[in-house]
Amino acid sequence: MRPFDKQYFSLLREMVISQFKLKDQSTFLGLVWSLLHPLLMLGVLFVFFNLEMGKNVDHYPLYLLIGLVHYTHFATGTSAGMTALAAMRGLTRDAVFPKEVLVIASVVVTSIEFIISLVICVVIAFFTSVKFSWASTLLPLVLLLQTTMVLWISLILSCCYIFLKDINHIYQVFLRLLMFITPIFYDTSFLGNGIARYIVLLNPLMYPISFTRNVIIEGEPFPARLFIMFGAVNALFTYFSLRAFRRCESVFAERI
């Protein structure tokens, strides 16, 4: 079964549907929990940082929400992708099919929630004083960019997790650190010209967040050259991570 075959897409569709149904099956509110998380975080961060961080940022609540939505998608998407093979160990061990489908399906499921969250951001912007422009039509490109980034990171993490389960604990610590080196509740100008600014600029998650804020809050298109360069790098990493995943695939059944 090859990528882009009809059978491949049919299998992927069924995996997405089954994982989406199973994700919140045992919870009372289901999908609502995924939307409540960034909203609850928004309330906490707004109370603590609005007076200092938000005084120089236009539409700070929306600015904050966009950052949280992107970070939540990245954190949940990569975490789910990392453990996708182990979560579906029966299929990983016994069934014969391209195992990357399990990882891709988990990323697609979290990306559905990401889309809904971004739609909520657009609705909030519409009912506030944010001025809309044609730049908002570029939002799907940002969605594709971040989803691609989450995908290749998930493929690498899922391979590593098969061989080293401790990576899950290490990664959760990394995600906590990532929240502080991502401009979620502060603007990069707040960092001045010190080393902290350069650390944040090296954070790839910063760029999709910046692109979304450009098109929703500022009503301006994001820099085309930066977007193309960032997109090309992500496409390259996706290609090589998929090749690395397939090289390791033969030992998954033994290690799971």
Separation of alpha carbons 65 and 60, rounded Å: 8
Instruction: Summarize pLDDT for 153-212 with one digit per residue, the tens.
Output: 999 999 999 999 899 999 999 999 999 999 998 888 778 788 888 899 899 999 999 999
- Domain for residue 203, yes or no? yes
**How confident is the model at residue 37, as a pLDDT?**
67
Query: Is 131 among the domain residues?
Result: yes
- Whether 1 is covered by a domain: the verdict is no
Domain containing residue 61: 6-255
pLDDT value of position 54: 66
**pTM above the 0.85 mark?**
yes
Whole-angstrom distance between the N-terminal and C-terminal Cα of the chain? Answer: 22
Q: d(Cα 183, Cα 168) in Å, to the nearest integer?
A: 24
Structurally, how many domains does the chain consist of?
Answer: 1
- Report if residue 238 sits inside a domain: yes
